[in-house]
């Protein structure tokens, strides 16, 4: 919670203590923290998870002697919110929380405004106005209701005929960040340009622009990204550091490709919400997390994560690197591109122009003798060879590999020329993964499904479920998930731990089927098994699992 709460920190902490929400000791520690770090007790309590947002809201409300309106769980309907006109609502930070016959409850995060009630009287006439407290970030979330569609805003920008391109770009970038998009696509068609956002892995249309303004927008983006404006026929890549609302800097990667109806722009947003790095957020089941950490504690060996492009492989490895990152461990990475900076880790960027390739970079890294090496991707014979040798000579090496499942990595690496006996002695863990959308926690509900109806989707359903009916989950769709029922993503994994038996099998240059057959004997869980576990827990839906993972044969 970074927003200024406009509250008396000491007073709130006193209330939390008085109500026994925190202990005397927590209070003292918080006061000390506030003094030493020029911070507040409340910030300390939140960061240490000694209180949650709700408790804080209640305590603040109590300090003002009003009730607390929890806008997070009781979201008012859009029509209701819009009864207070935008200008007034934003001026007074007021949301219509509930409306009765004779009274209304208004939620605000600023109770000390003299004219608030007078302003509201004009709308609610004779009804009694009762003020209540809500947290600033919750009020801001509700204000999303006032946002007009991108198309409407485009039209009004165009009508004003002033700085059209920069204003349209700002609107698009801001919406993309608001809706947690990971990519923005500008797709020129014959008469229009379609703007699409990728959210939680899927593309949605966000708006359409008249084509006549596209050239200026394209040029403006090229200038921002240091690209050549006069070049319309080659692929160009660049970067923008964009300063969003509230001064937050967001790094963007720009890729421009000539297409039939004009140059297509794809903007990748490297925003905070995209880089969820905590190992506990990746979506590992306990057993797999233990297996991963055990392998990562070994002094040498190789951990390989495979999966198609966009399956979250890099995020998994980053989370692992972040987890084991300590001052006494030397971690070096070579990546293309370096997507996220990790403090305390030496990160090297592949550069084709200076011929700093994966293999050359890796060769020099090994000479610097790091403990752990992360290679962005093993793509060629040379890199594969150096990687295996590095892992053999006392380094722990993590890398991603473009293969469909964990077992296929072995024959593919052998095809790249890796020696079976070297591979057998260095491989520790083979992981494969996919990304599935998470059910929105705000609107998740459970429903009953019978085995017979399930069999229409999963013919061998009886193999996985041993009761006649079962409880599954879905998202209904709400404001917080933009009516999709999904919010964020989780990874679905399969893990193959290289045991003695598997080592022996690798010596014989096995097929992926042979590897899976042996892994199954040792209790291997397929992508589908792992995903199903997450479906049963209500983390994702059955439909989503079937979308991203093939049914087991």
Applying CB under 5 A, the residues found at the interface with Zn ion are 440, 442-443, 475, 478, 481
Query: Between residues 486 and 524, which has the closer beta carbon with respect to Zn ion?
Result: 486
Neighbouring residues of 463: CB distance < 8 A, sequence distance ≥ 6: none
Q: Which CB sits closer to Zn ion, 379 or 487? A: 487
Q: Which is nearer to Zn ion, 73 or 553 (CB)?
A: 73
Q: Can you list the positions of beta strands (E) in 441-485? A: 444-450, 469-475
The CB-of-304 to Zn ion minimum distance in angstroms stands at 36
Q: Which is nearer to Zn ion, 386 or 440 (CB)?
A: 440
Q: Give the distance from CA 93 to its chain's centroid.
A: 29
Query: What's the CA gap between 434 and 399, in Å, rounded?
Result: 16
Instruction: Report the nearest approach of Zn ion to the CB of residue 440 (Å).
Output: 3
Quote helix, strand, coil % in the chain, to nearest 5. 40, 25, 35
We find the least distance from the C-beta atom of residue 479 to Zn ion, in angstroms, to be: 7
Q: How far is the CB of 539 from Zn ion (least distance, A)?
A: 14
Least gap, CB of 445 to Zn ion (angstroms): 10
Burial 205-236 (b: 16+ CB within 10 A, else e): ebbbbeeebbeebbebbbebbebeeeeeeeeb
Which CB, 37 or 273, lies closer to Zn ion? 273
Per-position b or e across 95-106, b if 16+ CB within 10 A of its CB:
bbbeeeeeebbb
Cβ contact 493:433 at 8 Å: yes
DSSP codes of every residue in 73-127: TSPPPHHHHTTS-HHHHHHHTEEEEEE-SSEEEEEES----TTHHHHHHHHHTTS
Rounded least distance, CB 202 to Zn ion, Å: 15
The least distance separating Zn ion from the CB of residue 145, rounded to whole angstroms, comes to 15
In the bound complex, what is the minimum distance in angstroms from residue 457's beta carbon to Zn ion?
Answer: 23
For residues 370 and 475, which CB has a smaller minimum distance to Zn ion in the complex? 475
Location of structure tokens 């024959």: 411
Min CB(182)–Zn ion separation in Å: 18
Which lies closer to Zn ion via its Cβ, residue 201 or residue 262? 201
Contact call for residues 496 and 502 (beta carbons, < 8 A): yes
User: Do 132 and 167 meet the contact criterion of CB atoms below 8 Å apart?
Assistant: no
Helices (H), 254-312: 286-296
Which residue number places its CB atom closest to Zn ion? Answer: 440
Cis peptide before 248 (omega within 30 of 0): no
Alpha carbons 253 and 225: distance in angstroms, whole number:
8
Closer to Zn ion by CB, 238 or 488: give it: 488
Query: Which is nearer to Zn ion, 317 or 440 (by Cβ)?
Result: 440
């Amino acid at each position: 919670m970074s927003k200024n709460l406009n509250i008396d920190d000491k007073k709130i902490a006193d209330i939390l203590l008085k109500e026994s929400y925190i202990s005397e000791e927590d209070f003292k520690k918080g006061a000390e923290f506030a003094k030493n770090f020029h911070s507040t007790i409340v910030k300390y309590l939140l960061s240490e998870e000694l209180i949650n947002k709700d408790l804080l809201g209640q305590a603040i409300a109590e300090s003002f002697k009003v009730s607390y309106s929890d806008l997070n769980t009781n979201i008012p309907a859009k029509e209701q919110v819009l009864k207070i006109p935008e200008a007034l609502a934003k001026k007074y930070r007021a949301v219509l929380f509930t409306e009765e016959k004779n009274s209304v409850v208004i939620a605000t995060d600023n109770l000390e405004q003299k004219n608030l009630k007078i302003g509201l009287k004009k709308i609610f006439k004779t009804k009694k106005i009762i003020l209540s407290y809500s947290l600033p970030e919750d009020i801001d979330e509700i204000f999303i209701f006032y946002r007009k569609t991108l198309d409407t805003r485009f039209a009004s920008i165009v009508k004003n005929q002033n700085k059209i391109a920069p204003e349209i770009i700002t609107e698009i970038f801001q919406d993309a960040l608001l809706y947690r998009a990971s990519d923005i696509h500008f797709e020129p068609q014959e008469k229009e340009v379609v703007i699409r956002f990728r959210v939680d892995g899927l593309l949605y249309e966000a708006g359409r622009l008249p084509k006549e303004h596209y050239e200026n927008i394209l040029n403006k983006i090229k200038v921002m990204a240091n690209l050549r404006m006069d070049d319309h026929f080659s692929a160009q890549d660049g970067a923008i550091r964009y300063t969003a609302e509230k001064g937050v800097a967001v790094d963007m990667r720009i890729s421009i490709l000539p297409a039939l109806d004009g140059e297509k722009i794809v903007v990748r947003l490297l925003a905070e919400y995209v880089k969820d790095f905590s190992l506990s957020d990746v979506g590992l089941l306990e057993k797999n997390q233990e297996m991963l950490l055990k392998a990562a504690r070994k002094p040498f060996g190789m951990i390989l994560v495979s999966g198609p492009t966009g399956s979250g492989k890099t995020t998994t490895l980053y989370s692992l690197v972040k987890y084991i990152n300590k001052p006494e461990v030397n971690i070096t990475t070579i990546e293309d591109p370096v997507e996220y900076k990790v403090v305390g880790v030496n990160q090297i960027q592949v550069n084709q122009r200076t011929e700093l390739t994966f293999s050359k970079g890796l060769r020099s890294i090994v000479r610097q003798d790091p403990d752990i090496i992360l290679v962005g991707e093993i793509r060629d014979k040379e890199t594969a060879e150096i990687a295996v040798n590095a892992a053999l000579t006392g380094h722990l090496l993590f890398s991603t590999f473009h293969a469909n499942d964990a077992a296929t990595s072995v024959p593919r690496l052998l095809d790249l020329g890796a020696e079976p006996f070297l591979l057998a002695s260095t491989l520790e863990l083979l992981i494969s993964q996919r990304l599935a959308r998470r059910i929105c926690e705000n609107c998740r509900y459970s429903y009953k499904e019978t085995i017979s109806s399930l069999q229409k989707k999963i013919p061998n359903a009886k193999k996985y479920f041993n009761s006649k009916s079962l409880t599954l989950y879905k998202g209904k769709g709400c404001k917080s998930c933009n009516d999709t029922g999904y919010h964020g993503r989780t990874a679905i994994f399969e893990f193959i731990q290289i045991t003695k038996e598997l080592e022996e099998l690798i010596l014989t240059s096995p097929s992926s089927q042979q590897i899976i057959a042996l892994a199954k004997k040792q209790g291997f869980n397929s992508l589908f098994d792992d995903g199903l576990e997450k479906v049963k827990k209500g983390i994702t839906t059955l439909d989503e699992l079937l979308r991203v993972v093939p049914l087991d044969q």
